[in-house]
A and B are shown apart, each in its own frame.
Chain A
Amino acid sequence: MTHTILICDDDRDIVSALDIYLSSEGYQTVKAYNGREALRAVEQNDIHLILMDVMMPELDGIRTTAKLREGSNVPIILLTAKSEDADKILGLNIGADDYITKPFNPLEVIARVKSQLRRYTSLGGAEKGPGLLCVGPIAMDDSAKQVTVDGSPVSLTPIEYNILKLLLSHPGQVFSSAQIYEQVWNDPAYGSENTVAVHIRHLREKIEINPADPRYLKVVWGLGYKIEKGANG
């Protein structure tokens, strides 16, 4: 089954560039150039995902998102030139599922689209069994010692697995490097926490789409690491 994606941006070149990328990945696309057109397109087509710019004439992305959320839970990814935290938080709070800052990397866009679609279509109500740790798209089956992100398995080293397990079982809680070291290595930490930071970076590279801008495994600078509680989606 091919998914239909609505691309909405007032810059036509960006829309057609995204169209090329998404079409080459096998998606059907619908184009819109402002918020009103986007709303109309959603009414007329069966849309599975929306990629939308924030700053648009007539009706901006934030308001369009709010209108769409009145009657639909279709995944929305905001494209934003604003890189300020406040805008991202506003977008996510209003009902967007993810955001990508401009200028974006096409690979990242495709990865995020895939991730959102997978969760929207197949993992609508993720089945939760015993020994299954789930935060956002990350699912850990402790009995099978398997970790999946958006349903696709990720291979982790035992240490990475243990670190992820520790963080997943306490979502939202900040663990310092020393705490993680003591819990995972079962050894008192004597200045060897440095390895924890490296492991975490590797772990982040494996489960995050853009490791420099993590959505789930977050670095709390100067304090430690945490898994975002109830991470978007």
Chain B
Amino acid sequence: MKKLQESPLSKAAAVVLMLALTFTGAVFALKAVQAVPYLDRESYQETTEFSRLCRTFEDQIASAFALERQLEAEDLTYVERQQLTRELEQLKQSFDSSATNFRFVVCNDAGEDVAFNLNAGEELPAPVHYARFTLGEPWAEELYQAGYAAVEATAAEDGVTEITIKAPADPVSYTIEYAVVPGEQMLESGVEDALCQLYLRYDTATSTFSTWVGVAGSCLVLAAACILFLLWTAGHKAGTEGIVLTWQEKIFFDLYLAAMLVAGTAVFAGGWWLLEYYYHTCVEQQGQEGAWLPLSIAALCTLFAAVIALTLRTFAVRLKGRALARTTLLCRVIVWLWRKLVEAGRWMIELVRSLPFLWRTIAGFLAYFLANVALFTEARYNALAGAIWWLLNLAVLLFLCRWSMGFRKLRRGSQAIAAGNLSYQIDTHRMPHELRCHAEDLNNISKGMAEAVDEQMKSERFKAELITNVSHDLKTPLTSIINYVDLLKTTQQEDPKAREYIEVLDRKSQRLKKLTEDLVEASKASTGVLSVNREKIGMAQLMDQALGEWQEKLEARKLTLVTSLPEGETWVYADGRHLWRVLDNLLSNCAKYAMEGTRVYLDLVRGHGQVSLSVKNISREPLNIPPERLMERFVRGEESRTTEGSGLGLSIARSLTELQGGTFELAVDGDLFKAMVTLPQAN
């Protein structure tokens, strides 16, 4: 398929075929044209040619009668008589039944047959035509002038022709009844007169008309198919991808089209003129102009087809190569104008934008104000000005609305960013220019900040990973230390100092163990790598369980627990294990740092969709640091770090609470230490 499309041979063949087909089609069409005068006639006897021939015969019959009448005159010279006699003989000969297929009977007004050329026993074949002529005066003078009988034939009604011969004697009228021998008999008798030829021509022309039309039509259809093929192959060339533009496509399409239009019109007009000439001479007049006329008409048709094919081809190539607009002068001009216009518009906008904002506002307002005043004054006399005034104010209102909408968007965006939503991007679509610049700046700020925060998070996570890995590595040697210290303890030590040292080692290694465990947990909790499985948790139940774990230890330190719970169970949505860790850390804090003999208060309060659990105790040491510091890692209520505890408990508790969507607050009032965990209540 592609090969066919690209082959130059197929294209050439199609061109030749198309031209040949057009030429042949035109020739055949011209043949069909010959039958055009006969098309609406039922028989050859109804053609104009037939009636013209009959008129000639009528004239001749009337002439013969006139000649005979003339011969009757007595004052004729010999020469005149001879001349008239010869003429009469000639006429009579031409009426002889062996010389013509025309049959007639002439009768006078009395109904007697005066003359006829019927063979013996022959009757007038149908259809019979009638004609009438009158021989009358004055005729001599005219005869003199005309040389022989002057016959005045007047077309009368009913196809009967009135012929008046200006004879010297009394006027006499005759009627001619005539007919033509039927076609088959004409051919049989072999009398080949003009009537026979007419019959033959009519017969061939009508019987072959449809054939010629069919042949010409199919030729033209095939030629059209050839043109379609050419259009399909146009622009494809072997060895190159895509559409190839030839020199023809370098000519602007509108110029090309105009040239082709002129050429086509000229060819068409010439062809039409020749066709009309051909019709008049060769068809209507039966003239023989030779072969050159139909051939030249066909050649012009072929030329016309070539012009159309060329025009269509270049159109198709331009369409296929998407070069129509590019190669059309008009399009180029319009595009150029549009571009200049856009440029000018941009320049104008640039000019306005380069003005300071204040100036722009003042200029805009002045323009609006002046237009307003002018239009308002004009509106009294001019309805159009009134309409424009309304439109102007509507436009200004719309402009202000757009501004305020943009401003609202901007405001909302900056609020969101201020509230900490750094991923918020203000939609700058359809914003006035000033506001858009502002919004883009804000977007850039928030993007930068979001990136910084993200970076921070990443480094936090990296730190957590590092701590976890280091802790894992610490655990292995720690295991050995704890185990061997334990083994040392089982050996017999004579020196009491050695026993004391081993005791220290034991204590410190246990503390180291606790520290590494807390460290891992703290780093995990603060970076959010811990998995949180939130479910409905009963706070009263949890407190109960926690107290069950801690009651005895607290009592051992002479601490009294005072709990207050609301009626019924209080449900929160949290991870039980993490929440237990929070409570565990808080109670362990009490056990470590509360003053002996005091009370520890545990209060559970619910309301406003929140549940808060507070733990209050009196510190044994003075709390000389603010609560924020207490939550920092490795910070403890006393400066010396000799006591148990890692200083990570509160930090872990806060991180775990926040992981579950709650808040963790500390308050220090003198020696009163208060921790409050607030979680959203579950229904």
Residues of A within 8 A of B (CB): 11, 13-14, 17-18, 20-21, 55, 81-83, 102-106, 176-178, 191, 193-194, 196-198, 200-201, 219-224
Contacts and interface: CB of A to CB of B under 8 A. Distances in A.
Contacts of B522: none
A103 B473 CA distance: 11
B538 A223 contact: yes
30 contacts: A14-B480, A17-B480, A17-B483, A17-B487, A18-B483, A21-B487, A55-B472, A81-B475, A83-B520, A102-B479, A103-B475, A103-B482, A103-B483, A104-B479, A193-B541, A194-B544, A194-B551, A197-B544, A197-B551, A219-B545, A221-B537, A221-B542, A221-B576, A222-B539, A222-B541, A222-B574, A222-B576, A222-B579, A223-B537, A223-B538
Contacts of B538: 176, 222-223
Contact of B541 (A102, A105, A201, A224): A224
A163 to B, nearest CB: 12
Contacts of B475: 81, 102-103
Given A13-B480, A17-B480, A83-B520, A103 B545 contact: no
A103 B520 contact: no
B219 to A, nearest CB: 89
A177 B549 contact: no
Contacts of A197: 544-545, 547-549, 551
B548 A13 contact: no
Interface in B567-588: 574, 576-577, 579-580
Given A21-B483, A194-B547, A197-B545, 12 more contacts: A14-B480, A82-B472, A83-B520, A103-B478, A103-B479, A178-B541, A220-B576, A221-B537, A221-B576, A222-B539, A222-B576, A223-B538
SS class, residues of chain B in contact with chain A: helix
Contacts of B486: 106
Contacts of A224: 541
B476 A14 contact: yes
A81 B474 CA distance: 9
Contact of A81 (B476, B481, B548, B574): B476
A25 to B, nearest CB: 12
B545 A221 contact: yes
Contacts of A14: 476, 479-480, 483
B6 interface: no
B368 interface: no
A48 to B, nearest CB: 22
Contacts of B481: 103
Given A20-B487, A193-B544, A194-B548, A222 B476 contact: no
A81 B472 contact: yes
B552 interface: yes
Contacts of B520: 83
A176 B545 CA distance: 10
Nearest to B486: A106
A202 to B, nearest CB: 9
Contacts of A200: 548
B602 to A, nearest CB: 11
Q: Which 7 A-B pairs give the minimum distances between C-beta atoms?
A: A197-B548, A222-B537, A221-B576, A17-B483, A222-B542, A221-B580, A103-B479
Nearest to A177: B544
A102 B520 CA distance: 13
Contacts of B487: 17, 20-21
Contact of B513 (A103, A196, A220): A103
A177 B476 contact: no
B462 interface: no
A219 B651 CA distance: 24
B551 A198 contact: yes
B449 interface: no
Contacts of A13: 480, 484
Contacts of A219: 545, 580
A196 B548 contact: yes
B27 to A, nearest CB: 97
A101 to B, nearest CB: 9
Interface in B487-541: 487, 513, 517, 520, 537-539, 541
Contacts of A198: 548, 551-552
Nearest to A13: B480
Contacts of B542: 221-222
B565 interface: yes
Contacts of B479: 11, 14, 102-104
Given A81-B476, A221-B577, A222-B541, A106 B548 contact: no
A171 B476 CA distance: 36
B217 to A, nearest CB: 88
B484 A17 contact: yes
A31 to B, nearest CB: 15
A210 to B, nearest CB: 14
Nearest to B561: A194
A170 B576 CA distance: 22
Contacts of B579: 221-222
A220 B472 CA distance: 28
A222 B537 CA distance: 5
Nearest to B574: A222
A81 B517 CA distance: 10
Nearest to B472: A81
A102 B473 CA distance: 11
A105 B483 CA distance: 8
Contacts of B484: 13, 17
A193 B546 CA distance: 12
Contacts of A81: 472, 475-476
Indicate the member of A82, A178, A197 with the most B CB atoms within 10 Å: A197
A102 to B, nearest CB: 5
